[in-house]
Amino acid sequence: MFIVPTYAVAVVFCFLTMLCWGSWGNTQKLAARTWRYEFFYWDYVLGVLLFSLLSAFTLGSFWGSEGRGFAADLCQAGIASLGSAFLGGVVFNAANILLSAAIAVCGMSVAFPVGVGLALVLGVLVNYFGAAKGAPLYLFAGVFLITVAILLNALAWRRATAKRRKVPGKGLGLSIAAGVIMAFFFRFVAASVDLENFAAPAAGKLTPYTAVFVFSLGMFASNFLFNTLAMRYPVEGGAVSPSGYFRGRAATHLVGVVGGMIWCAGQSFSILASERAGAAISYGLGQGATLVSALWGILIWKEFKDAPRSSLWLNAAMFLFFLLGLSLLIYAGA
């Protein structure tokens, strides 16, 4: 089983998480040209499940000489650990469906900084008090700067949409709801593993690969409830029939599956890094995905194309505060 050897490698893994978590939304934007996000999300969840199986039977079984393999770990897993990882998947899925709805309403450059940024702030606090690791002064200072960045982005979007007919409150409301719920999922997953020793975890605890797999099962199972409700009561447009999913083209389905695999790769990197960096720092750095997604939204998808100059300056300030906050999170762990 592959295990992260040092804090420096853990930080690299956190940045890979940041790239993955900040980039999967592009697949939704691509699919949205011909595909409702509710249909996209079925493929996305399948992608998460497929990647968790792939990593469990490769890196989690035959790579490296430390730790126990995926099959052996699953057989010895305790009910409490399995339930915690599964619940983490359910909680995340509820939040991520709201985030997907927010992307459909207001775009990546707003949904991610507000929703995921809020999840970062609350999630760092939840994970730190659940398993304290890192210098609290720098940790909380970093969280404060990221909070300022979130507020700057929300203000930039409000100014950019001031002259539009669409009510901006819906997108912000969905993003905030997603962020509050998302703040708690990582704590459930982290509680299912032994954060002090991945090579020889305590009896009943899971290895990171098993935890991510059980987490993905929670996502998959809960999707039959959450996404069915989203299809029946959509945030935009009319209700959609489940039969429409089967009329999609293979290429369109593949885009969603790839999106889920990209996100799950980030989740795997984050959990693997948490032994060396601590759950709070690993989660917080990974949720710096807001920077990546905002760049995609602003530079590639032109979501602030007609915005006033003040919005552009506010977004520039947002990036600065985010970078300063993330730097303090890294220093807190070192």
The tens digit of pLDDT for each residue in 246-278 reads 999 999 999 999 999 999 999 999 999 999 999
CA distance 182 to 271: 16
- Do the domain assignments include residue 227? yes
- Do the domain assignments include residue 26? yes
- Do the domain assignments include residue 117? yes
The DSSP symbol for 133 reads -
CA distance 313 to 173: 24
Percent of the chain whose predicted confidence (pLDDT) is above 70: 98
Residue 137 banded pLDDT, cuts 50, 70, 90: very high
Q: Are 176 and 106 in contact (CB under 8 A)?
A: no
- Do the domain assignments include residue 196? yes
* Higher-scoring residue by pLDDT: 158, 85: 85
Average per-residue pLDDT for the chain = 91
- Give the dihedral sign, CA 237/239/241/246: positive
The DSSP symbol for 240 reads -
Q: Specify the amino acid at residue 274.
A: S
CA distance 202 to 198: 9
Listed residue (153, 104, 82, 113) closest to 290, CA to CA: 113
- Do the domain assignments include residue 45? yes
- Count structural domains, the chain: 1
- Do the domain assignments include residue 25? yes
- Does the structure show a pLDDT above 90 at 282? yes
Range of the domain at 115: 7-333
- Do the domain assignments include residue 1? no
pTM check: above 0.75 = yes
Q: Are 106 and 250 in contact (CB under 8 A)?
A: no
For the chain, the maximum distance between any two Cα atoms, rounded to a whole number of angstroms, is 60
- Do the domain assignments include residue 2? no
* Residue 299 CB neighbour total at 10 angstroms: 11
Average pLDDT, integer, range 203-218: 97
Tokens 């978590």 belong to 21
